[in-house]
A and B are shown apart, each in its own frame.
Chain A
Amino acid sequence: KAGVTQTPRYLIKTRGQQVTLSCSPISGHRSVSWYQQTPGQGLQFLFEYFSETQRNKGNFPGRFSGRQFSNSRSEMNVSTLELGDSALYLCASIRGDTFGSGTRLTVV
């Protein structure tokens, strides 16, 4: 079966811009969770979606938002990018059961 697919793999954005990342969970899985990994903070939980509804949210500012579509694909959006948003963004199926390869975001 196909794994968790994240696109794009790499992204470079300028401060103040916004960015949208995409995640498709394993076929048939309805739960998607998002995480941010930085050298300073380690791996942190962003939010979780289940059947198009946000089920849980971590301690991140409102600039970080997400949504899930009826086919379970999820998008994460970060508005007004800051340098500190440079990170590896991971998504996972079923609460961390299987992770995608991640999107490496660099904000310059």
Chain B
Amino acid sequence: ILNVEQSPQSLHVQEGDSTNFTCSFPSSNFYALHWYRWETAKSPEALFVMTLNGDEKKKGRISATLNTKEGYSYLYIKGSQPEDSATYLCAYPSGGSYIPTFGRGTSLIVHP
């Protein structure tokens, strides 16, 4: 069973703050790392698929980086808005077979 850890478990920030959180995964046999945003009462929304060491991807105010050698990925949100409030999940499908292991998520609440 793979160990995919996300930290922190929850985060409360004020509107306008920038924030970041971490996903840690086994560094061996890397295949890809997925980030999702999951708002309450909605479906998970795919944000990024990270595949290469050093990858940096951006979508509006959200960006992500990847370090496969040390086994972590950071998700950054610049200038948080209340609509960014959601649980952010990472998923790690190890190489060899596509069976993704999900982290428990970081719950972000942005206060107006």
How long is the Cα–Cα vector from A44 to B104 in the complex, in angstroms?
Answer: 10
Number of interface residues of A (CB under 8 A): 21
Which residues 1-48 in A have Cβ within 8 Å of B in the complex?
4, 42-45, 48
Size class of the B contact interface (CB-based, 8 Å):
20 to 34
- Name the residue on A nearest B32 (C-beta): A95
Q: Is A80 an interface residue (CB 8 A)?
A: no
Q: Quick check: is B97 within 8 A (CB to CB) of the other chain?
A: yes
CB distance from B27 to the nearest CB of A (A): 21
Number of A-B contacts (CB under 8 A): 43
| A23 CB to nearest B CB, Å | 12
Report B64-93 CB contacts with A as 1/0, cut-off 8 Å.
Answer: 000000000000000000000000010101
Residue of B nearest to A100 (CB): B43
Which residues of chain A have C-beta atoms less than 8 A from B97's C-beta? 56
Among the listed B1, B42, B102, which residue makes an inter-chain contact with A43, where contact means beta carbons less than 8 Å apart? B102
Chain A residues lying within 8 Å of B89, measured Cβ to Cβ, are: 43
Contacting pair A101 B99 (CB below 8 A): no
Judging by beta carbons under 8 Å apart, are B43 and A99 in contact? Answer: yes
Measured between C-beta atoms, what is the minimum distance from A89 to chain B in Å? 12
**In this complex, what residue of B is CB-closest to A57?**
B99
Which of A43, A55, A57, A58 has the largest number of chain B CB atoms within 10 A? A43
Closest to B41 in A: A101
Given contacts A95-B93, A95-B100, A96-B100, could you give 19 more A-B pairs where the C-beta distance is less than 8 Å? A42-B102, A42-B105, A43-B44, A45-B99, A45-B100, A45-B102, A48-B98, A56-B98, A57-B99, A59-B1, A90-B43, A95-B98, A96-B44, A96-B46, A96-B91, A97-B46, A98-B46, A101-B43, A102-B43
Q: List 10 A-B contacts (CB under 8 A).
A: A42-B104, A43-B91, A44-B102, A45-B100, A45-B102, A58-B99, A90-B44, A95-B98, A99-B45, A102-B43
